[in-house]
């Protein structure tokens, strides 16, 4: 998302952008109507626009696929019963939904991008949704969760994802933290219960912390979520004019 003033303030960037769009039409046509600005004089420079975004979010916000109680899964839960299989030259390769620790020795055996919840990916999704909100405004709404009949703006979807991620750490109604799973020591001993660890990733069905226990480098992003939620809540609602709204819903 680019503010309109960026084109006058950064003429070299503007020149390069226009060259790319003019001389590489094969790639430029993937960027939907980038020159159309919204009512706030903002431009969207993205592969996702309106129809494409809604098609993507209907999958991402489906609780039978990517949306977990604790955030966005790395792989759709659909593949738990329907693994993806690729066969070539007599060899057969497959990938299924694995919500926690890896079931393979591949990549060292303790790193699994095939189902768990990863904080950096979720953080980038939330940040991107809020950036899209600045262009799309409050009139652009998607069903969240998919099939619920509840339609939210993109900033409200970001807030919902942030709330789900934040459920990993606080004590729940049963006095346990999802991040510690069913460990009696972490549930009952204050010396452990009240010292929350920044796990590498999280079991996408239970929220249990998995992998390295001190992954502050990226799981520490969780500490920023409440602050960003408060900032987003304090910002005024932004609406787009009728013409850009119709463009957002275009199928291209």
**Between 106 and 74, where is the model more confident?**
74
Mean pLDDT check: name the lowest of 46-55, 89-98, 119-128.
46-55
Average pLDDT over residues 145-162: 96
Closest CA to 180 of 102, 158, 112, 191: 191
Q: Is residue 1 part of a domain?
A: no
Whether 251 shows a pLDDT value over 50: the answer reads no
Q: Is residue 111 part of a domain?
A: yes
Domain total in the chain: 1
Whether 218 shows a pLDDT value over 70: the answer reads yes
28 vs 22: CA distance, rounded Å: 8
Percent of the chain scoring above 70 in pLDDT: 87
pLDDT number for residue 85 = 93
**Between 192 and 66, where is the model more confident?**
66
Q: Is residue 13 part of a domain?
A: no
Q: What residue numbers bound the domain in which 90 lies? A: 48-248
Q: Is residue 30 part of a domain?
A: no
Closest CA to 166 of 210, 133, 117: 117
Q: Is residue 108 part of a domain?
A: yes
Measured between alpha carbons, how far is residue 171 from residues 81, 137, 177, 181 in Å? Answer: 32, 35, 5, 11
53 vs 47: CA distance, rounded Å: 9
Confidence of residue 227 (pLDDT cuts 50, 70, 90): confident
Whether 239 shows a pLDDT value over 70: the answer reads no
Task: Write down how long the chain is.
Answer: 252
Q: pLDDT per residue over 50-88, tens digit each?
A: 888 899 999 999 999 999 999 999 999 999 999 999 999
Q: Is residue 36 part of a domain?
A: no
213 vs 223: CA distance, rounded Å: 16
Are the C-beta atoms of 37 and 43 separated by less than 8 Å? yes
Predicted model pTM: 0.82
Average pLDDT over residues 226-233: 80
Q: In a 10 Å sphere around its CB, with 0-12 CB exposed, 13-18 middle and 19+ buried, how is residue 72 labelled? A: buried
Q: Is residue 11 part of a domain?
A: no
**Between 19 and 62, where is the model more confident?**
62
Indicate the average pLDDT of the chain: 85
Mean pLDDT check: name the lowest of 21-30, 134-143, 209-218.
21-30
Q: Is residue 78 part of a domain?
A: yes
pLDDT number for residue 152 = 96
pLDDT number for residue 41 = 63
pLDDT number for residue 28 = 78
Whether 242 shows a pLDDT value over 50: the answer reads no
Q: Return the SS3 of 193.
A: helix
Whether 234 shows a pLDDT value over 80: the answer reads no
């Amino acid at each position: 998302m680019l503010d309109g003033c960026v084109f006058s303030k950064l003429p070299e960037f503007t020149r390069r952008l226009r060259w790319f769009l003019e001389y590489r039409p094969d790639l430029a046509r993937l960027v939907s109507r980038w020159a159309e600005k919204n009512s706030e004089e903002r431009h969207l420079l993205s592969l996702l626009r309106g129809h494409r975004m809604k098609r993507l979010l209907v999958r991402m916000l489906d609780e039978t696929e990517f949306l977990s109680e604790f955030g966005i899964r790395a792989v759709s839960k659909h593949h738990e019963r329907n693994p993806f299989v690729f066969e070539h030259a007599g060899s057969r390769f497959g990938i299924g939904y694995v919500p926690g620790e890896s079931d393979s020795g591949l990549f060292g055996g303790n790193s699994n991008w095939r189902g768990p919840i990863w904080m950096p990916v979720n953080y980038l999704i939330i940040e991107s949704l809020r950036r899209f909100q600045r262009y799309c405004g409050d009139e652009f709404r998607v069903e969240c969760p998919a099939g619920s009949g509840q339609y939210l703006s993109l900033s409200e979807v970001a807030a919902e994802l942030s709330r789900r991620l934040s459920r990993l750490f606080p004590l729940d109604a049963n006095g346990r933290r999802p991040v510690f799973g069913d460990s009696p020591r972490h549930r009952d001993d204050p010396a452990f219960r009240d010292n929350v660890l920044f796990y590498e990733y999280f079991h996408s069905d239970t929220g249990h912390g998995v992998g390295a226990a001190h992954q502050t480098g990226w799981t520490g992003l969780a500490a920023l979520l409440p602050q960003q939620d408060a900032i987003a809540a304090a910002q005024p609602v932004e609406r787009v004019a009728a013409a850009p709204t119709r463009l957002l819903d275009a199928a291209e």
